[in-house]
Amino acid sequence: MSKKKDASPQTVTLPSNDLSRLFQVLQSRGYTILGPTVRDGAIVYDELDSPDDLPRGWTDEQEKGRYRLKKSGYGTYFSFAVGPHSWKQYLYPPRVRLWQMHKNGTGFELNAQNGPLKKYAFLGVRSCELHAIEILDRVLLQNGFEDPTYKARRKEALIIVVQCTAPASTCFCASMQTGPKAERGFDLAMTEVADGERHYFVLQSGSDAGREIVQELACAAATAEEIAAAEQAVKAAAERMGRTLDTHGLQAALYANREHPHWREVGERCLNCTNCTQVCPTCFCTTVEDITDLTGATAERWRRWDSCFTMEFSYLHGGSVRSSAGARYRQWLTHKLASWVDQFGAFGCVGCGRCIAWCPVGIDITEEARIMCAETVNQ
């Protein structure tokens, strides 16, 4: 493709009525568009054909252990916070076949191929989610330890941010310094502005691929007022964040409190259901399962998401290392907010609030971390 630099503006305005043009441009470039849509009482991610599939007029109400889809009363497309799905499910799928083997005479024939990958455009990535992808990059694309299934999908994915203007009461990205505004790491970033009669998107490109799309859209350059209105919408979001987490000294406090009696108290409430780890956009643990067919002529190895809340996860000869529910909860919370920093140089939490809303008994990571760090108590 041409890399011709020209004077066309890189911050442009797309009227909301023209959103379908963005879809067409992406589709003509061979992208399958993934983004938010309403299904079964929530806003989930799925393949989208046109803007009609977007959750226009919908919003959400979130609290610990509770999510409700609501009519927003506005004609906006993106007035909601993150739902139960995350981009992890596309970049790092829940189940992947690693290989298949067939008996072949006295030997074996190995097949490590999987079908061709689709070229995905992720539409509606929030800042917290973009940071979660960056965290997964650190975990899964480290030199010498690259995960090929992640790498292949990550390389193909076009990232279109929609800046967050409607945080939920479970959100705390501002505390984690992961949002609400995405500054870099995207191909395109859009901000939705509904300003009285006018409804438009301010588009900004962040890569060559993004620039080409902006060029093809041939929109008018954004005016100073439009850019200011977009900035203001995101700024207001930071002030409406429902939760906070004080990260100052957090790592040291958690390590100091590894025998805090409160771990056991949370363990009494925790169901070990794994929901928090499954919805978390950064949890990366997997296990492998080996299966055969009835005749034993074909064997397959599958990788699937695992969780530190299962007994199998820490099973060594003789039993599970983390046999109590409190120990398993401690593993989760201290991994996210302390040992992750030692491993990967940043927190393993981006403050998206999913684990709070989707915990069936409403266990809140910000609340538990606060109690755990209030004072040093060891039993």
Partner 1 sequence: MKTKRKPKLAVWKFASCDGCQLSLLDCEDELLDVVGEIDIANFPEASRAVVKGPYDISLVEGSITTPKDAERIHKVRRASKVLITIGACATAGGIQALRNFQDVDQFISIVYASPDYISTLNKSTPISEHVKVDYELRGCPVNKYQLLEVISAFLNGRRPVTPSHSVCMECKQKGVVCVMVAHGTPCLGPVTHAGCGALCPSYARGCFGCFGPKETPNTHSLSEWWQEELGASKGDIIRAFRGITAYAEPFRKESEAYELQ
Q: Which amino acid is at 157?
A: A
Q: Which of 174, 190, 336, 373 contacts ligand SF4 by CB under 6 A?
A: 336
Which string of x and - marks every residue 113-152 that binds partner 1 (by CB under 8 A)?
Answer: ----------------------------------------
Q: Are 185 and 159 in contact (CB under 8 A)?
A: yes
Pairing status of strand 95-104 against strand 220-221: unpaired
Q: Which helix (H) or strand (E) holds 320?
A: strand 319-320
Q: Which helix (H) or strand (E) holds 291?
A: strand 286-292
Q: Does 311 participate in binding partner 1 (rule CB under 8 A)?
A: yes
Q: Which of residues 138-157 bind ligand SF4 (CB under 6 A)?
A: none
- Our CB check for ligand SF4 shows the closer of 209 and 346 to be 346
Rounded Cα gap, residues 360 and 67, in angstroms: 11
Q: Does 351 participate in binding ligand SF4 (rule CB under 6 A)?
A: yes
Q: Report, in Å, the least distance between residue 229 CB and partner 1.
A: 33
Q: Does 327 participate in binding partner 1 (rule CB under 8 A)?
A: no
Q: Does 363 participate in binding ligand SF4 (rule CB under 6 A)?
A: yes
Smallest CA-to-CA distance from 329 within 253, 276, 292 is with 276
CB neighbours of residue 202 within 10 Å:
24
Smallest CA-to-CA distance from 377 within 220, 292, 264 is with 264
Q: Which of 85, 126, 284, 326 contacts ligand SF4 by CB under 6 A?
A: 284
CB neighbours of residue 211 within 10 Å:
18
Binding partner of 355, given ligand SF4, partner 1, none, CB within 5-8 angstroms per partner class: ligand SF4
The two tokens of residue 64 are 């610990």
Interacting residue ranges for ligand SF4, rule: CB under 6 A: 270-277, 279-285, 307-309, 331-332, 335-336, 349-355, 359-361, 363, 365
Interacting residue ranges for partner 1, rule: CB under 8 A: 39-42, 44, 65-69, 84-85, 89, 94-95, 268-275, 278-279, 289-296, 304-305, 307, 309-312, 325, 357-358, 360-362
